[in-house]
Amino acid sequence: MKIEARGLGKTYVSAGRPLNVLQDVDLTVEAETSVAIVGPSGSGKTTLLGLLAGLDVPSAGRVCLGGQDLQALTEDDRAMFRARYVGFVFQTFHLLPTLTALENVLVPLELQGTRRLEDGTLARDRAADLLARVGLADRLGHYPAQLSGGEQQRVALARAFANQPRILFADEPTGNLDGETGAAVVDLLEALNHNERTTLALVTHDTTLADRAGRVVQLAKGRIVSDSGNGAR
């Protein structure tokens, strides 16, 4: 699924003053390609990712995902669009602490009311299979608090792919992990992304990870300052 942003801008009010976090960003990510968004802290990376995913409304410009103009949708419609087509991985994992690993992975499917996938697989089996693919077959019944950071991020990865998303947004997916664990998570991310033929937009500080994306967009002070590569995998 193709990502298109035109003239994107976002202004927040901070301590009573307007703060331009993002200004006039144009970005197109072709379907089934990858892009890494890099830049120093405060350059607007996370805001850009959030606006692309429809997590907030831009102050200026518009975002289209697979030809669907997000501004034309209500907040609830955007949520349903995400449930159907979008996966998410966060730096701080953001698992629901009250649910087990398996239940966490099931959430996106359950939010759509999916108990059985189109190919006839049970939602539970799909979730268990995904957890097995990230190496957590024996941790299905564990709560987030009972898992290490790397394990939590692997559960988050499995959750992100549960609804067979067409686009995956990842915000610093290795930011909270040590080098070795981070590399393992990236391998998994790439493998899943490749198998599921997902469009990938990821925000990272990690230059190695950014290079593996095939296309690197650099932000500074809310603007794109460089864009290299085509993102083809």
Partner 1 sequence: MLRLAWSEGRGAIRSTWMYSMAVALGVGALVAVHGFRADADRSIRAEARSLLGADLRMSRRDPFPDSVRAIVDSLVAEGATAASVVSVPSMVLSSRSQTARLFQVRGVDGGWPFYGHPSSDPPGAWPPASDHRGAFVDPAVLIQLDARLGDTLLVGEVPIPITATVVDFPAEMGFQAAVGPRVFVPMAVLEEADLLRFGSLARYQAYVATSDDDAPDAVFRRYRRLIQAGGTSYTTADWRAEDLSEGLQGLSRFLGIVGLAAVLLGAVGVANAVHVFVRAKLTNVAVLRCLGATRRRVMTAYVIQAGAMGLVGSVIGVLVGVILQLALPALLTDLLPVDITPRISWVAVGLGFAIGLWTTVAFALGPLLPVRNVSPLRALRADFEDAHPPTDRLTVVTRVVVALTLLLLAVVEAPTMLQGVALAAGLGGVVGVLWGLAVVATRAVRRFFPANASYVWRQGVANLFRPRNQTVPVVLSLGFGVFVVGTIVEVERNLSEAFSLGGSEGSPNVLLFDIQSDQRLGVEAAAARVATSPPQSTPLVPARIVALNGQSSVELMADTTEGAPSRWALRREHRNTYRSYLKDSEELVGGSWWSDDARDPQDDVPGISMETSLADALGVGVGDRVSWSLGGRELETEIRSLRQVDWARFDTNFYVVFEPGVVEMAPHTWVTLARVEGVSERAALQRDIAVSFKNVSVLDLAQVQEALDSLLGIMRRTIRFLAIFAGLAGVVILAGAVTVTRSQRTREAAILKTLGARRAVVFRILAIEYAALGALAVTGALLLSTVASWSLISWFFELEFRLHVVPATLLVGGVIGLALTAGLIGSRGVLARPPLRVLRELAD
Contacts to partner 1 by CB under 8 A: 12, 46-47, 50-51, 53, 55-57, 75-76, 79-84, 86, 88, 90-92, 94, 96-99, 103, 106-108, 110-112, 145, 149, 159, 163, 171
Q: Least Å distance between CB 230 and partner 1?
A: 28
Q: Least Å distance between CB 29 and partner 1?
A: 18
Q: For residues 149 and 229, which CB has a smaller minimum distance to partner 1 in the complex? A: 149
DSSP 3-state assignment of 37? strand
Q: Least Å distance between CB 12 and partner 1?
A: 8
Structure tokens at 59: 């102050």
Instruction: Count Cβ atoms below 10 Å from residue 170 Cβ, excluding itself.
Output: 29
CA dist., res. 147 & res. 139, Å (int) = 8
Q: Least Å distance between CB 170 and partner 1?
A: 12
Q: For residues 23 and 215, which CB has a smaller minimum distance to partner 1 in the complex? A: 23
Instruction: Count Cβ atoms below 10 Å from residue 76 Cβ, excluding itself.
Output: 8
Q: Least Å distance between CB 83 and partner 1?
A: 2
Q: For residues 82 and 215, which CB has a smaller minimum distance to partner 1 in the complex? A: 82
What number of residues does the chain have? 233
Q: What is the dihedral of CA 207, 210, 216, 218, to 10 degrees?
A: -50
Strand partners of residue 151: none
Q: For residues 166 and 215, which CB has a smaller minimum distance to partner 1 in the complex? A: 166
Q: Least Å distance between CB 228 and partner 1?
A: 26
Q: For residues 123 and 231, which CB has a smaller minimum distance to partner 1 in the complex? A: 123
CA dist., res. 5 & res. 41, Å (int) = 22
> What are φ and ψ of residue 92, in 5° steps?
-100, 25
Q: For residues 34 and 46, which CB has a smaller minimum distance to partner 1 in the complex? A: 46
48 CB-contact burial (10 Å; exposed 0-12 / middle 13-18 / buried 19+):
buried
